[in-house]
Amino acid sequence: MKKLILSAVICLFSSALFAQLSSPVNLGFHTGLVSTKADTDFGGLSGIKEKADNGMMIGAFLRVNLNKWYLQPELNYVTRKSSVEVMGDSYDFKTKSLDVPILLGYKIVKLPAFKLRAFAGPVASFTVDDNVKSTVEGAIDSDFKGAVWNGKFGAGIDVWKLTLDVDYEVGFSDVAEQLKQNMVNVTVGFKLF
């Protein structure tokens, strides 16, 4: 009798777990590391060194599951840092933004407790704050645009409620005159349901 009750409890727990894992809609939070590299175009000047620097990201996502496909809008707060050296003069860029990616994904491997995914989509990035520091006083105008478009593509895995994503984000438009930002993002998340 004890074995029968134990088996019934395990079956109920397992079916409840797998039903939750295959929910048509997931809501979750994620955070991660953002490595940003400036992409400058100073009219073909030589001696330009672009250096990547690390920032951070925190945000929320909503995943609408459509069998093997999914649609995932996100809202993320992102800090980005990068630097450029032009003929010995250095420029450090720091931006803070609210990013809204709309990602279309495909589940390459779809098991009840494990998924391997690929995704891509546009990102609308709205500048909240910007800062430029330079070794040359008054040499640069820190007039960053209020909104820019980026695109991202990457891959991720889900293990039960945990997510891990790695993606590359390319700047489609200049964040300031002759300056774009390209990013590598690594995020870890947790699906609430």
Q: How would you label 134-169 residue by residue, b for 16+ Cβ within 10 Å and e otherwise?
A: beeeeebeeebeeebebebebebebeeeebebebeb
Q: Alpha helices, DSSP H only, in the chain?
A: 2-21
Between CA 16 and CA 2 the distance in angstroms is 21
Q: What is the pLDDT of residue 19?
A: 45
Q: What is the residue-level pLDDT of the chain in tens, covering all 193 positions?
A: 556 555 555 654 454 444 444 579 999 999 999 999 887 765 566 667 778 889 999 999 999 999 999 999 999 999 998 887 777 777 788 889 999 999 999 999 999 999 999 999 999 999 898 777 766 665 455 567 788 899 999 999 999 999 999 999 998 887 767 777 899 999 999 999 8
Q: Return the structure tokens found at 104.
A: 């279309």
For the domain made up of 24-191, give the CATH fold: Porin (2.40.160)
Q: Name every residue whose Cβ is closer than 8 Å to that of residue 46 and which is 6 or more positions away in sequence.
A: none
Domain ranges of the chain: 24-191
Q: What is the pLDDT of residue 44?
A: 60
Q: Return the structure tokens found at 151.
A: 């695109």
Q: What is the pLDDT of residue 159?
A: 97
